[in-house]
Amino acid sequence: MKTDVLIVGGGPAGVVAALTVKKSYPEKKVVLVKKEEKVLIPCGIPYIFGTLPSVESDLMPNTPLEKNGVELVFDCAEKIDTKNKTILTSAKKEIEFDRLVLATGSQTAKPPIKGVGLKNVFFVEKNMQNIEKLKHALDTAQNIVIIGGGFIGVEIADELRKKEKNVSIVEAAPCLLQQAFDEEFCKAAEQRLENAGIKFYTNALAEELTGNETVEGVKISGKKSQTLKAELVLICVGTKPNSLLAEKAGLVIGKSGGIVVDEYMQTSEKGIFAVGDCAEKKSFFTRQVSNVMLASTAASEARIAGNNLFSFRVIRQNKGTIAIFSTFVSGLGLGAAGLIESETKKQCFEYVVGEAQAKDMHPGCLPNSSDLHVKMLFSKDSGVLLGCQAMGGKNVGELINLAGFAIQSNATVSEISTLQIGTHPLLTAAPTNHPFVLAAEAAMAKL
**Structure confidence by residue, pLDDT tens digits, 407-434:** 999 999 999 999 999 999 999 999 999 9
Judge whether residue 439 has pLDDT over 70: yes
DSSP string, 52-102: SS-GGGGEEPSHHHHHTTPEEEES-EEEEETTTTEEEETT--EEEEEEEEE
Exposed / middle / buried, residue 368 (Cβ in 10 Å: 0-12, 13-18, 19+): exposed
Q: What DSSP state is assigned to residue 431?
A: T
**Which homologous superfamily does the CATH classification assign to the domain defined by 331-444?**
FAD/NAD-linked reductase, C-terminal dimerisation domain (3.30.390.30)
**Structure confidence by residue, pLDDT tens digits, 101-121:** 999 999 999 999 999 999 999
Q: What is the b/e burial string over 231-249, where b = at least 16 CB atoms within 10 angstroms of the residue's CB? A: bbbbbbbbbbbbbebbeeb
- Amino acid found at 343: E
Residue 281 contacts residue 271 (beta carbons within 8 Å):
no
Same fold, 2-106+240-308 and 331-444: no
Closest to 122 in 3D by CA, of 225, 219, 10, 209: 209
pLDDT of residue 345: 94
**What is the distance between the alpha carbons of residues 165 and 160, in angstroms, rounded to a whole number?**
6
pLDDT of residue 92: 96
Strand extents, DSSP E, 249-384? 272-274, 281-282, 289-290, 324-329, 332-338, 351-359, 371-379
Q: Which residues have C-beta within 8 Å of that of residue 3, sequence separation ≥ 6?
A: 29, 30, 31, 71, 95, 96, 97, 98
**Which homologous superfamily does the CATH classification assign to the domain defined by 121-237?**
FAD/NAD(P)-binding domain (3.50.50.60)
Judge whether residue 78 has pLDDT over 70: yes
Q: How confident is the model at residue 314 (pLDDT cuts 50, 70, 90)?
A: low
DSSP string, 5-17: EEEE--SHHHHHH
**What is the distance between the alpha carbons of residues 388 and 292, in angstroms, rounded to a whole number?**
17
Judge whether residue 301 has pLDDT over 80: yes
Q: 2-106+240-308 maps to which CATH number?
A: 3.50.50.60
* Kind and range of the H or E run holding 146: strand 143-147
CA 75 to chain centre: 26
Q: Structure pTM?
A: 0.94
Query: In whole numbers, what is the pLDDT of the chain averaged over residues?
Result: 95
Q: How confident is the model at residue 223 (pLDDT cuts 50, 70, 90)?
A: confident
Residues 290-308, mean pLDDT to the nearest whole number: 94
**What is the distance between the alpha carbons of residues 411 and 415, in angstroms, rounded to a whole number?**
6
**What is the distance between the alpha carbons of residues 253 and 367, in angstroms, rounded to a whole number?**
53
Q: Where on the phi/psi map is residue 242: left (φ > 0), alpha (ψ -120 to 50), or beta?
A: beta
**Structure confidence by residue, pLDDT tens digits, 240-290:** 999 999 999 999 999 999 999 999 999 999 999 999 999 999 999 999 999
Q: Which residues have C-beta within 8 Å of that of residue 167, sequence separation ≥ 6?
A: 144, 145, 146, 157, 160, 161, 197, 198, 199
Closest to 147 in 3D by CA, of 117, 118, 174, 167: 167
- Amino acid found at 176: L
Residues 135-148, mean pLDDT to the nearest whole number: 96
Max CA-CA distance within the chain? 68
**Structure confidence by residue, pLDDT tens digits, 196-219:** 999 999 999 999 999 999 999 999
Judge whether residue 397 has pLDDT over 90: yes
- 26: preceding bond cis by omega (within 30 degrees): no
**What is the distance between the alpha carbons of residues 137 and 142, in angstroms, rounded to a whole number?**
10
Q: Which residues sit opposite 8 in a β-bridge? A: 33, 102
- Residue 294, Cβ neighbours under 10 Å: how many? 20
- Amino acid found at 50: G
**What is the distance between the alpha carbons of residues 257 and 264, in angstroms, rounded to a whole number?**
19
- Residue boundaries of the structural domains of the chain: 2-106+240-308, 121-237, 331-444
- Amino acid found at 204: A
- Amino acid found at 397: G
Residue 109 contacts residue 237 (beta carbons within 8 Å):
yes
16, 333, 358, 362, 392 from 368: Cα distances, Å: 36, 13, 14, 11, 11
